[in-house]
């Protein structure tokens, strides 16, 4: 009975060392007599007891590594603290175990030296505005350096960049001054736009007033011209009627001259500077002038 119990214990020990269950997203590195034998994928794996040994359990999931905050000197001699996180995944478990003693330590040291090299070539203001550029350069350099270790660097992110306290105070003052400057520029631009709008309004109002005055004068002149035209037409009709009446009456020459003188008398009463004398009136005037000369000569002879 004791032999059976010992045998069962031995069978359990052998089974425990022989049958291995590998979980999802993990692999086992199996060594046989101290040498690499195989990589056991997820599922049930049988190994030879006392000859094979599980050297390491490697996770194939994407992993994160926080790089301790590092003090870095920029090209303009400002010491800043950079906090970084690295996202990586193991693509070759055997290389990750045998090519480097500690994969995490190797990635950490590479990240620190690379950050100092990249940021050391930049000025302080450039480090704040070029985070994406720094992240890309870090990822490319780390991915190339860790490839022999069976590792793939997926992302590198700078979580925080902390300048010294005095530099932060100076930056805050600069930011406040820049905000005040932008506010003054916007206020001046608003006043300028308002002045332009008011000037354009006054200009348009003056143009409209001028156009209205011009239109008013044109209409007034048109009305006056129309009135003069109507008066002239009425006068012309009146003259035509008088002419027709005179022509119908068939007056002698002396009557025509007398009427012309009467008309001349009426015209002379007007305020015009120039008087247009009809041709018939000039004959009458010449006759009167001749008669006055004759009377004057008779008086002289007496």
Using alpha carbons only, what angle is made at residue 11 by residues 10 and 14, rounded to the nearest 5 degrees? 85
Q: How far is CA 277 from CA 264, 267, 270, in A?
A: 7, 9, 13
Q: What confidence score (pLDDT) does residue 152 get?
A: 93
User: What is the pTM assigned to this prediction?
Assistant: 0.55
Across 61-70, 85-94, 233-242, least confident range: 233-242
Q: How far is CA 161 from CA 66, 129, 165, 247, in A?
A: 14, 11, 12, 119
Per the model's pLDDT, the better-predicted residue between 269 and 184 turns out to be 184
pLDDT category of residue 131 using cuts at 50, 70 and 90: confident
Q: What confidence score (pLDDT) does residue 243 get?
A: 66
The β-bridge partners of 92 are none
Could you read off the pLDDT of 99-110 as tens digits, one per residue?
998 899 999 999
pLDDT category of residue 78 using cuts at 50, 70 and 90: confident
The β-bridge partners of 64 are 87
How far apart (Å, rounded) are the C-alpha atoms in residues 229 and 268?
24
List the strands of the sheet with 63-73, edge to edge: 63-73, 79-90, 151-162
**Percent of the chain residues topping a pLDDT of 70:** 80
Among 302, 248, 242, 245, CA closest to 278: 242
Backbone torsions φ then ψ of 44, nearest 5 degrees = -85, 130
3-state secondary structure of 84: strand
Residue written as tokens 């930011």?
175
pLDDT category of residue 274 using cuts at 50, 70 and 90: very low
**pLDDT of 90 above 90:** yes
Structural domains in the chain plus CATH codes: 2-59 (no CATH), 63-163 (3.30.479.30), 253-302 (no CATH)
Could you read off the pLDDT of 195-245 as tens digits, one per residue?
888 888 888 888 888 888 888 888 888 888 888 888 777 777 777 776 676
| Exposed / middle / buried, residue 95 (Cβ in 10 Å: 0-12, 13-18, 19+) | middle
Q: What confidence score (pLDDT) does residue 141 get?
A: 92
């Amino acid at each position: 009975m004791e032999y059976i119990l010992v045998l069962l214990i031995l069978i359990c020990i052998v089974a425990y060392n022989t049958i291995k269950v590998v979980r999802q997203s993990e692999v086992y590195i199996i060594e046989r007599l101290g040498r690499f034998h195989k990589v056991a994928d997820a599922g049930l794996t049988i190994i030879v007891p006392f000859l094979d040994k599980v050297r390491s359990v490697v996770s194939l999931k994407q992993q994160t590594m926080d790089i301790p905050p590092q003090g870095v000197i920029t090209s303009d001699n400002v010491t800043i603290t950079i906090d970084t996180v690295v996202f990586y995944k193991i693509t070759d478990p055997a290389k990750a175990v045998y090519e480097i003693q500690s994969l995490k330590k190797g990635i950490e040291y590479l990240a620190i030296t690379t950050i100092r090299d990249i940021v050391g070539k930049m000025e302080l203001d450039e480090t704040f505005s070029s985070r994406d550029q720094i992240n890309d350069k870090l990822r490319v350099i780390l991915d190339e350096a860790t490839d022999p270790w069976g590792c793939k660097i997926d992302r590198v992110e700078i979580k925080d960049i902390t300048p010294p306290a005095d530099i932060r105070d100076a930056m805050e003052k600069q930011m406040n001054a820049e905000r005040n400057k932008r506010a003054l520029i916007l206020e001046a631009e608003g006043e300028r736009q308002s002045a332009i709008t008011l000037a354009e309004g006054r200009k348009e109002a003056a143009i409209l007033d001028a156009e209205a005055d011009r239109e008013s004068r044109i209409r007034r002149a048109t009305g006056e011209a129309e009135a003069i035209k109507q008066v002239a037409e009425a006068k012309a009709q009146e003259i035509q009627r008088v002419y027709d009446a005179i022509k119908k009456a068939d007056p002698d020459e002396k009557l025509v001259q007398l009427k012309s003188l009467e008309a001349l008398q009426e015209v002379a009463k007007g305020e015009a500077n120039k008087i247009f004398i009809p041709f018939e009136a000039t004959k009458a005037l010449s006759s009167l002038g001749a008669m006055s000369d004759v009377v004057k000569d008779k008086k002289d002879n007496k």
